Amino acid sequence: MVRVAVVIAIAIFSALPLAAQNLLVNPGFDNVDQLDGWSCSTANGNATWSPEDRSGSATSGSMQHDVTAASDNRYLWCNQCVPVDEFETYVASMWVYWPDDPDVTQGGSPRIEVDFHANTTCDSFLHLGDIQTMGYPLYDTWNFLSTNPATAPAGAQSALLFLLTWQDLADEPVRARIDDVDFHSTTIFRDGFESGDTIAWEP
């Protein structure tokens, strides 16, 4: 009697949650002395790489903003242009460390702004709309700041993500460090019916 071993292959699907893809280049500032992928303003201070990392990694760092505005309500920003798809929903977030310098009158805020554009290069004249959020620093500790979910409007092809350090008060230089920035879509899949077609579906 021949016994036949029947091997049944069972596909076991992982129960692990899918991690949403971070669309940003260099979100954790892992390269020493580099802010690769980011463009920064210079009008009200400067942005530099700092070895102070949010999770204490010796091989990563953060983005440091030093705002030295001579008048009220000035800010420093860094931004990055990322591709998006219309009708998908996005969330932007970052971690912020705001040292409490006793010689400074604090009056600032960390902010995030996301501008949607109708081309792939974030050209300002094709601006479609934006989402913004503003936090208040809890001094001397890392804080998480996130936007609400926002849907990219019809025609959106790119988004310009701004990381801002704002100071309300003139001649009170403030510093903030930013690390572990994230910008991702929360849309698992589109139904494609928002625009009167079935473009998101294969026939």
Binding site for Ca ion (CB under 5 A): 28-29, 53, 60, 179
Assigned token pair, 160: 């310009």
- Nearest CB to Ca ion, comparing residues 29 and 90: 29
35/69 with CB nearer Ca ion: 35
Give the nearest distance from C-beta 175 to Ca ion in angstroms: 17
- CB 29, min distance to Ca ion, A: 5
Half-sphere exposure of 172 (CA within 13 A, CB side): 18
Question: What residues does 39 pair with on adjacent strands?
Answer: 79
Smallest distance from the beta carbon of 130 to Ca ion, in angstroms? 26
C-beta closer to Ca ion: residue 177 or 184: 177
Report, in Å, the least distance between residue 61 CB and Ca ion: 5
Q: Which is nearer to Ca ion, 29 or 98 (CB)?
A: 29
Cβ proximity to Ca ion, 144 vs 193, nearer residue: 144
Any residues with CB less than 8 A from the CB of 94 and at least 6 apart, and which? 110, 112, 144, 145, 163, 178, 179, 180, 181, 182
Both tokens of 46, joined, read 């400067």
Q: Which helix (H) or strand (E) holds 151?
A: strand 150-151
Position with the least CB separation from Ca ion: 60
Please, which residues bridge with residue 129 across strands?
Answer: 116
Count of other CB atoms within 10 angstroms of residue 87: 19
Q: In whole angstroms, what is the distance from residue 38 CA to residue 167 CA?
A: 21
CB of 179 to Ca ion, least distance (A): 4
